[in-house]
Structure 1
């Protein structure tokens, strides 16, 4: 579907309707209401250069992936969506497409460990420089920028410290210095937050997380507000080749259909977990933007529909006690990743964020991160109380 038709078809629809219908056109051959998995590498041409629907080779385009990419763009209110093999593949494509040796990026002081590793260990080797800033402080972002800054990178809520950045305010800073604003919207999902509407140029997702929602797929996405930028990224997506496979695209497309109802339940359960932990004697602090005590609460209220399913907390007795809590939990599965229907618990310092140890992004050693699932909240609370006992 063309961008104009897509915009017309979704402009007056609510999110829940868009999630189920955008890109999900009934199969013209059989009438199947779910798009088929086109598990194919190449396509018969009707004469040399006579492509059916523009398909010639599945690295360049695949009908199942096209359906997901149309859906992603509609969900974020963007002009172009692109689906990748992982969130980091999407980030790598973005960096290589938009940056050159000598360019500079401002990144958060609490970015995801894999993102930091990509900047520090990969992009840095071909001459891309970066500075670290507390992106919740607009003036700190401005101070970290240089005359060579091409991108301002934001995670909100951030991973794993649940920091909140005022997207509209930072977008203003980025525009004033001639840079683009990139927002990692993985923790919030497009149901809870719409960065492009707040001034972002590009949205990044690990679709492995809430978009897929069932811990059975690895994927990533980019969505752009500008069609020309989307075309530039699509060129690099094809040239670099780290695209989402047909089955993976189909799994994410399936997961998105229930995104709204899942995020409502994730947020409800996480709120109850955060409130319980806030009153627990073995917990020294709780990081959840839904709590009025959170320093970013007012901004989160302004730019988010609800506060999501991620909760982090610090254990009063230190690192060993935090590790023990992770080991003692039963219903909360000890594991990396997040955003699935089942609840997960992890120790970021030794697991997902081990790559930032010794850097400016090092996380507290007594920190525990929860991905609160959609099970019974009462059962989740009982499990955490037992783990903290």
Structure 2
């Protein structure tokens, strides 16, 4: 039998932590699910210290507490979208600062850096962080910040977070990791040395395609202060209702992820056998270029699959449109399966030269695997593949 001290030191499991959100700011009602606090302003001098929702709201605090628990960190700040979270971080930099970026980032991240912040003197340099030379590049370039994704969108490259953070930390360079595809259930960037773990809570964290949100998690109090300042001063705050929806959604995150990952792995293996497919990218398949690193760094291969068809753009579009259970749409991470054509959707803002360099071509397809029955998704993919001509 465990001693009383052992019981006290026991850390609650992830399934328990996502369900028990702590203070719901409604102690006198006995409500199990926290209510929505849609108020724009609060009476001066209230015990909780709220004044104006742009600078704080009970629904923000509830979700931030949950996210900090799941990310295993001290601080979490929520925003109105994933792009709002990116904006908050980028806005903390100044003219002349250089951000060293992984070349295969989310298209809206690229657009924000290249078409918005570049006008204010923020510089970016893009490199392939899967190469050996990338570590030397950090030392040589000495950037103000390093910005990576892993797995990347849409090519699912796996970046060695620990190795990059080790070098960056030695040189006091903050590292931002966009962890949207993995979620903290499969990968914890802060535990690997990252300064900031960024996520679009619109995706897996919420999981129901009905709310927008973003979050920045960190162990660094100074970065927490910067994020709170950006949330308030730039008006990047989420809505209380969206925070309530995301708080509801995160309660089933472990269950959803478990099913989605298992289905994605099975489908990736089946798709790789199909004669109409050139190649399949899935981090936990042995043919993935960074498979060993993925298994070392991640608890699972995720629920995203990227594949290249033996088809032109028209045929690839027809494949996407002929699917019955995969909706052709932006976004990912919901309970419903989605299909995306990155070249004309998520990464449409990139120049044709950049897309060609990265390998985001007309035959590339990105699948977000939902919670449907695996056999039904497999049959749907096969019927659409059979129509390729």
TM-score bracket for the superposition, by shorter chain length = over 0.9
Consecutive unaligned residues of structure 2, counting only runs of 5 or more, are: 1-7
Residues 32 and 136 of structure 1: is their aligned pair in 2 closer, same or farther, counting only changes over 3 Å?
same
- Asked whether the equivalents of residues 343 and 355 of structure 2 are also in contact (C-alpha less than 8 Å), the reply is no
- Asked whether the equivalents of residues 25 and 58 of structure 2 are also in contact (C-alpha less than 8 Å), the reply is no
Which of 64, 69, 88 is residue 59 of structure 2 equivalent to?
64
- Residue equivalent to 1:102: 96
- Residue 118 (1) aligns with residue 112 (2): yes
Query: What is the rounded CA distance, in whole Å, between the counterparts of 2:47 and 2:23 in structure 1?
Result: 19
Query: What is the rounded CA distance, in whole Å, between the counterparts of 1:359 and 1:183 in structure 2?
Result: 26
- Asked whether the equivalents of residues 79 and 230 of structure 1 are also in contact (C-alpha less than 8 Å), the reply is no
- Asked whether the equivalents of residues 85 and 220 of structure 1 are also in contact (C-alpha less than 8 Å), the reply is yes
Deviation at 1:247, TM superposition (A): 0.3
Query: What is the rounded CA distance, in whole Å, between the counterparts of 1:356 and 1:304 in structure 2?
Result: 29
Which of 174, 180, 190 is residue 184 of structure 2 equivalent to?
190
- Residue 154 (1) aligns with residue 148 (2): yes
Query: What is the rounded CA distance, in whole Å, between the counterparts of 2:66 and 2:222 in structure 1?
Result: 19
- Asked whether the equivalents of residues 267 and 378 of structure 2 are also in contact (C-alpha less than 8 Å), the reply is yes
Matches within 5 A, 1:86-97: 86-97=81-92
Deviations 1:240-267 (A, max 9, x none): 1110110000011111100001000110
- Asked whether the equivalents of residues 26 and 32 of structure 1 are also in contact (C-alpha less than 8 Å), the reply is no
TM-score after normalising by structure 1: 0.93
Consecutive unaligned residues of structure 1, counting only runs of 5 or more, are: 1-8
Residues 23 and 160 of structure 1: is their aligned pair in 2 closer, same or farther, counting only changes over 3 Å?
farther
- Asked whether the equivalents of residues 349 and 357 of structure 1 are also in contact (C-alpha less than 8 Å), the reply is no
Query: What is the rounded CA distance, in whole Å, between the counterparts of 1:227 and 1:344 in structure 2?
Result: 38
Deviation at 1:142, TM superposition (A): 3.3
Query: What is the rounded CA distance, in whole Å, between the counterparts of 2:235 and 2:24 in structure 1?
Result: 26
Deviations 1:11-31 (A, max 9, x none): 712211111113454730201
Aligned residues: 377
Q: Secondary structure at the match of 1:349?
A: helix
Which of 82, 97, 114 is residue 77 of structure 2 equivalent to?
82
CA-atom RMSD in angstroms: 1.8
- Asked whether the equivalents of residues 138 and 170 of structure 1 are also in contact (C-alpha less than 8 Å), the reply is no
Which of 373, 378, 386 is residue 376 of structure 1 equivalent to?
373
Residues 177 and 318 of structure 1: is their aligned pair in 2 closer, same or farther, counting only changes over 3 Å?
farther
- Residue equivalent to 2:4: none
Which of 372, 383, 386 is residue 386 of structure 1 equivalent to?
383
Query: What is the rounded CA distance, in whole Å, between the counterparts of 1:378 and 1:123 in structure 2?
Result: 46
- Residue equivalent to 1:132: 126
- Residue 278 (1) aligns with residue 275 (2): no
TM-score after normalising by structure 2: 0.93
Residues 188 and 149 of structure 1: is their aligned pair in 2 closer, same or farther, counting only changes over 3 Å?
same
Deviation at 1:136, TM superposition (A): 2.0
Query: What is the rounded CA distance, in whole Å, between the counterparts of 2:314 and 2:195 in structure 1?
Result: 42
- Asked whether the equivalents of residues 138 and 169 of structure 1 are also in contact (C-alpha less than 8 Å), the reply is no
Query: What is the rounded CA distance, in whole Å, between the counterparts of 1:69 and 1:95 in structure 2?
Result: 20
- Asked whether the equivalents of residues 186 and 204 of structure 1 are also in contact (C-alpha less than 8 Å), the reply is yes
Deviations 1:3-54 (A, max 9, x none): xxxxxx9971221111111345473020101111001011112xxxx24211
- Residue equivalent to 1:317: 311
Deviations 1:299-325 (A, max 9, x none): 111111111110010001233322221
- Residue equivalent to 1:5: none
Query: What is the rounded CA distance, in whole Å, between the counterparts of 1:214 and 1:146 in structure 2?
Result: 44
Query: What is the rounded CA distance, in whole Å, between the counterparts of 2:295 and 2:180 in structure 1?
Result: 18
- Residue 41 (1) aligns with residue 40 (2): yes
- Residue equivalent to 1:22: 21
Deviation at 1:388, TM superposition (A): 0.5
Deviations 1:248-305 (A, max 9, x none): 0001111110000100011011011101110000000001101011011111111111
Residues 39 and 202 of structure 1: is their aligned pair in 2 closer, same or farther, counting only changes over 3 Å?
same
Residues 387 and 24 of structure 1: is their aligned pair in 2 closer, same or farther, counting only changes over 3 Å?
farther
